[in-house]
Amino acid sequence: MSEIVKVALAGLGTVGGGVAKLLIEQSDILYNRTGKKIELIAVSDLDKSKVASLNLPNSVQYYDDALKMIDETTADIVVELIGGADGIAYKICQKALAAGKNFVTANKAMIAHHGNEMAKMAEQSGSEIGFEASVAGGIPIIKSVREGLIGNKINEVYGILNGTCNYILTVMRETGKPFDEVLADAQKLGYAEQDPSFDIDGIDTAHKISILGSLAFSMPIDFDSLSIEGIRHISALDIAFSEELGMRIKLLGVGRKTEKGVSLNVYPCMIPQTSEIAHVDGVFNAVVTEGDFVGHSMFVGRGAGERPTASAVVSDIADIAQNRSVPMFNIRKGTLSELQKISLSERCGEYYVRFEVIDQPGVVADIARILGKEGVSISSMIQRGKTGKTVPLMMTLHEAVEAKVQKALNEIEQLSTVTAKPCMIRIERL
Amino acid sequence: MSEIVKVALAGLGTVGGGVAKLLIEQSDILYNRTGKKIELIAVSDLDKSKVASLNLPNSVQYYDDALKMIDETTADIVVELIGGADGIAYKICQKALAAGKNFVTANKAMIAHHGNEMAKMAEQSGSEIGFEASVAGGIPIIKSVREGLIGNKINEVYGILNGTCNYILTVMRETGKPFDEVLADAQKLGYAEQDPSFDIDGIDTAHKISILGSLAFSMPIDFDSLSIEGIRHISALDIAFSEELGMRIKLLGVGRKTEKGVSLNVYPCMIPQTSEIAHVDGVFNAVVTEGDFVGHSMFVGRGAGERPTASAVVSDIADIAQNRSVPMFNIRKGTLSELQKISLSERCGEYYVRFEVIDQPGVVADIARILGKEGVSISSMIQRGKTGKTVPLMMTLHEAVEAKVQKALNEIEQLSTVTAKPCMIRIERL
């Protein structure tokens, strides 16, 4: 890379605007640190008015068409901050890599769905791909896993990867309010989208943990193999009882590698309050890794937003500007291999379950009998005063195989005294 | 760097042994990730028996003299893991850099005392210096600050940087035992040295925060300007009262940069229990950074020990093997500049103070009068039942300039009713 590194930026939304600001405001710092003049030479956005609000230097060319921008400029690095797994974002990626440009993105959906092809394209054209901003926003977790922990076999990686969910769960705990109400408030405050399903149903977390899992375990991205569960079913009662149990509920992406294979999933967990990650609240993200030499490490920071995400995007630009290249999936081509996947039904762990039952003799006995039949034993039980015709009944279960727990819950759901689908939350002693 | 990268390792103590093991056990992983064969070609230690216990391949040459090892081998990277700011460790450093070798060390004392000269020597010979392991063991904090947060002006960096102190403070909290007893136990368990002063008087923390401060604020190392306070004066009472106040006591290295200048110090702090760093317990380390784009970030992990420290040393080796170089103090030569230092006496903050007083009328009035004279106002006060002829009296003070608090405390110490030197702990609302 020559002394002047030219950047073309596609997408001037929240993050794109932040990157433009950072490159301009901190150009001296970046030059002093990297020895390279990193110049924003072109930007593209369908909406030209966004350019005006950014006060860009006159030297920055505007395009309404990002593909045309790639054709007509001599950028060393194309930055895509439009989003979406496919569509224009992926066209930009393909065109940039085909043209031998280096490519930087914050697009977790694209990497989760097309990461393997992207890595292949980059290899063929000799380009670099930077995607630090795709996981956990401002936290330099991709750099830490691929470079900082390079000497380690990582056998576990998990984290709070979605600020919206963490915010909702935090406010539910602090206020005792139900999920729907807190979600509605979060939408008003701009912490949740009008269509929140991408966040609260765990898809966004799944994109991120699938990326982290690939890096940590050196395997190709395999988004479709993930089991994904969101937080819609978490009630104020579950939150209150988790506190009584000395636990806290967090939506986690969880990746584990054992001799049997790799499990990579997204689900809400009850974790002990003594765990550090239990105290990562609000919109913050956190990632925990377990390496065979380094042991337990945790990385906490802002997982989204204009400025934190811009910080991550620019760290990729700086790395590429300085020729600090790293294999995309933390391993050189040819050495990446598929690993055996372990499904969530094989999980062996503890569980919290909540039933809504008609308050009459024999209910607990029926439930206990069905659990017992599957070899699942109860570790603790709480029943509280009536809330109407039915009462909530909470149990924690000793370590058991999930398929058996699930089978028992399905049978319990059929009982005439059980009035709603049982709620199950996995307990993780992190 | 050619495909084979040759490493010579000086010092086969705990960390050196760990590095040798990692390089050998994980050589396949390192090759797959870096594309380089990283070969341990020579080791040195005064004690030859250490070599035998490591089961090194026959190809590894043994030297009792590290300087001779540098002369007689063709290592690309010399790793120094002997320790000590001066003596043989620094001679190895000087000889390696003079010979144009790359140099990797975990030696915080050496960098804190000689970092500026080391950077100059490395520039002159075109060598790289790696020192990830010198701060916070396995946490990739130097990489995160210099590379991950490269687009940020960092205005605050602080952390729990000494596992021995954090372990002692954690056990004091959990058991209610006094400092001396917990220290003695820690010594028996091997968590504290027989001469513990280096750790418990804050020197080790000071070495580390002086390095982090230099990187974060892009200034030369200036260890002598630090004010350093350890944890010997923390009593079981202080710990108990901090809990009552919803706070927790941690020994922190604290660096701040404002328009007035830079303050860089080590002292025990009371921090709110709602702060994440309050929950980093035992031998763990944590570093928090505040960057102008990325905002608040925290990095947690094992700060010492054979394997975590080896993980950090090897990440430096891998970076150098792949030519991923970074300016030592996060800024290219010529742009590093001295910054105005702010002394701790100028600190403006809250304080916790504990007095041992004779339980008679007028004592509190005397103390309050002296504080008031200096413009220091009391925010809360607790006095508990007699412990003998004297009683402990705890106060928290509203925000005040430290010089005034110190002046008042000196005057209070002279009161005939005050029987011991007042204990003061700074409150940091982190």
Residue with tokens 């925000």: B399
User: Is A174 near chain B, with CB under 8 Å?
Assistant: no
What per-residue confidence (pLDDT) applies to A385?
67
Among B278, B179, B193, which Cα is nearest to B233's? B179
B-contacting residues in A 297-316 (Cβ below 8 Å) = 297-302, 305, 307-308, 310-312, 314-315
Per-residue pLDDT tens over the stretch A60-71: 999 999 999 999
CB contacts of A292 in chain B (<8 Å) are 307
* A280 contacts B315? CB cut-off 8 A: no
Among B305, B119, B106, which Cα is nearest to B208's? B106
Per-residue pLDDT tens over the stretch A266-316: 999 999 998 989 999 999 999 999 999 999 999 999 999 999 999 999 999
**Is A208 assigned a catalytic role?**
yes
CB contacts of A144 in chain B (<8 Å) are 140, 143-144, 148
| Neighbouring C-beta atoms of residue A278, cutoff 10 Å | 23
User: Is B333 near chain A, with CB under 8 Å?
Assistant: no
User: Is A132 near chain B, with CB under 8 Å?
Assistant: yes
Q: How far apart are CA A326 and CA A319, in angstroms?
A: 9
Per-residue pLDDT tens over the stretch A181-231: 999 999 999 899 999 999 999 999 999 999 999 999 999 999 999 999 999
Residues 6+ apart with CB under 8 A from A131: A104, A105, A106, A107, A108, A111, A142, A211, A316
Amino acid at A351: Y
* B138 contacts A294? CB cut-off 8 A: yes
What per-residue confidence (pLDDT) applies to B251?
98
Averages of pLDDT over each 10 residues, chain B, 430 residues: 95 97 96 96 96 92 98 98 96 97 98 96 94 97 98 98 98 97 95 94 98 96 96 96 96 96 97 93 96 98 95 98 91 80 95 94 94 96 78 95 98 96 96
Strands B261-272 and B247-258: antiparallel
Residue A1 has pLDDT above 90, yes or no: no
Are B123 and B333 in contact by the 8 Å Cβ rule? The answer is: yes
Residue B166 distance to chain A (closest CA, Å):
15
User: Is B214 near chain A, with CB under 8 Å?
Assistant: no
What per-residue confidence (pLDDT) applies to B385?
67
CB contacts of A316 in chain B (<8 Å) are none
Which residue of chain B has the CA closest to A320? B324
A-contacting residues in B 2-21 (Cβ below 8 Å) = 18
What per-residue confidence (pLDDT) applies to A388?
73
Residue B33 distance to chain A (closest CA, Å):
4
Residue A352 has pLDDT above 70, yes or no: yes
| Sequence-ordered strand ranges (E) for A224-281 | 227-228, 247-258, 261-272
B-contacting residues in A 41-80 (Cβ below 8 Å) = none
DSSP character string of A110-161: HHHHHHHHHHHHHHHHT--EE-GGGSSTTS-HHHIIIIITTT--EEEEEEE-
Q: How far apart are CA B5 and CA B104, in angstroms?
A: 14
- How much is the pTM? 0.96
Catalytic residue among A36, A108, A143, A208: A208
Residues 6+ apart with CB under 8 A from B36: B1, B3, B4, B5, B30, B318, B321, B322
Q: How far apart are CA A219 and CA A157, in angstroms?
A: 14
Which residue of chain B has the CA closest to A23? B151
Q: How would you label B30-67 residue by residue, b for 16+ Cβ within 10 Å and e otherwise?
A: bebbbebebbbbbbbbeeeebbeebebeeebbebeebb
- The answer to which of A159-163, A215-219, A334-338, B181-185 has the lowest mean pLDDT is A334-338
Q: How far apart are CA A233 and CA A427, in angstroms?
A: 16
Catalytic residue among B6, B101, B143, B208: B208
Strands A284-291 and B284-291: unpaired
* A148 contacts B140? CB cut-off 8 A: yes
What per-residue confidence (pLDDT) applies to B209?
98
Per-residue pLDDT tens over the stretch A7-16: 999 999 999 9
| Sequence-ordered strand ranges (E) for B99-193 | 102-105, 129-130, 154-160
Are B161 and B153 in contact by the 8 Å Cβ rule? The answer is: no
Q: How confident is the model at residue A337 (pLDDT cuts 50, 70, 90)?
A: confident
Residue A11 distance to chain B (closest CA, Å):
19
